[in-house]
Structure 1
C-alpha cells in the first residue's frame, strides 16, 4: 500500500493545509492533497464495515476551506500558538460531517458475514457512515498525536473504541448540532 496520503504522520496538518507530493512525485495544492487523503482514509474505514463510499469533490473542497478558516481564526492572544492536534482534529471532523463530504455509503456485495452481528454492524454503518467516518478520522488523528506525545506511550493508549459508542456518536452527529469545540473535548477526553 502507498503511504503517501496516510493521515497518521507527524506533518499531517501541514500537508492537509498546504499540500505535498503525490505518489508520483507531483506537487499537489492543499485542497487536492486534502481530498485524496480524506478519501483514502474514508475508504479504509468503510472497508472495515464491509462498505464503500462515494464523495462530493465540491464538498471536500468546501470542508478544506472551512477547516483552514476556523483553524486560523482561533485566537490565542499574545501567546501566538497554533491550535493543538485535538482542536485541529475536532474542527476537521466537524466540517467533514457538516459538509457531508460522503455522498453515499454502499454495502459491498462481495463481503459475506458469518454472524448476524457482522450484518448488523454493516447495516448500522450504512445508515450513519457519513457521520461515523469524520468522527473516526478525528479520533484516530487525536489518538495518533496523543501516543506520539506520550511518555511512556502505554500511558495514553486505551485500545479500540466500543462499537456501540461509535454508533451512538454517529447518531448524535447525524441528528444534533455538535460543535467543533465539543468534538475537541471528546477527543481530548478519549485520548489523554
Structure 2
C-alpha cells in the first residue's frame, strides 16, 4: 500500500502521523479503504474519532516515553501497539457498506474469512492491521508474518470484549516479528531432569 510519495522511511511516517493531524486522518482513511475494498465494502469513518485516537495515542506515547523510558524515543513496536489500542478504543469506523449491493459478497475461502472479520470486528481489525503494517515497515527483512484467521479472530474478539493493554499488544507484535524458534527445554534442563 502506498500512502504518500513524499514520505520515504518508516520513521518519517511515524513522525508525520504524530505531527500532522491531516496526514494521520488521511493515512487511516486510506488504510481502512485498503482493507475493506478487498472484500467489496467501503468504510464510513468519523473524523472526530480519528482525531481523538491520534490525540490519545500521542498523549500515551509521550507519557510512556517520559515515565517508563526516561524520555527516550519509543521503538516501532511500542508506537504501533499504542496506536492499535487507541484506534480500537475510539472506533473510527462507524459502519462498513457494500460498494455494490447488487453483487453478493464473496463468503467463501480467504475473502469470506476476511469479510467476517471486517463485518464483526471492523475497528479491531483495522487497528491490528495498521499496527502490524507499521511494525513490518520497520523490520529489515520486510516480511510480514502470515497470520491465520483463527488468530486474527481471537485477537479481535479479545480487543473488543476483554481489556487488552497497549503493553500486551506490544508483546504480541514483537513476538510476531522477532520470535525465533526456541526449544521449550534447553539441553541442560533435560540433562538435569534425566539425572
TM-score range, shorter chain: 0.7 to 0.9
1:184 and 2:170 correspond? yes
From 99, 104, 126, the equivalent of 1:133 is 126
Contact 2:85 2:165 in 1 (8 A): yes
- Match of residue 84 from structure 1: 75
Deviations 1:40-64 (A, max 9, x none): 0111012233321111111111111
The equivalent residue for 1:54 is 44
**Long gaps (5+) in structure 1:** 19-29, 148-152
2:193 paired residue number: none
State the partner residue of 2:13. Answer: 12
Residue 161 of structure 1 aligns to a residue whose secondary structure is: coil
Distance change in 2, residues 1:5/1:182 (3 Å): farther
RMSD in angstroms over aligned alpha carbons?
Answer: 2.7
Distance 2:33 2:6 in 1: 12
- Would you say 1:103 and 2:104 are equivalent positions? no
Residues 104-159 of structure 1, C-alpha deviation per residue, up to 9 Å, x if partnerless? Answer: 12234346427366445413420111111101110111122123xxxxx28xx364
SS in 2 for 1:105: strand
Change in CA separation of 1:121 and 1:14 when aligned onto 2, cut-off 3 Å: closer
**1:20-169 residue pairs with structure 2 within 5 A?**
30-74=20-64, 75=66, 80-108=71-99, 109=101, 110=103, 112-113=105-106, 115=108, 118-147=111-140, 153=141, 157=143, 159-169=145-155
Contact 1:6 1:41 in 2 (8 A): no
Highest CA radius of gyration, 1 or 2? 2
Instruction: Provide the rounded CA distance (Å) in 2 between the counterparts of 1:164 and 1:68.
Output: 31
> Which ranges in structure 2 are unaligned for 5 or more consecutive residues?
179-195
2:181 match: none
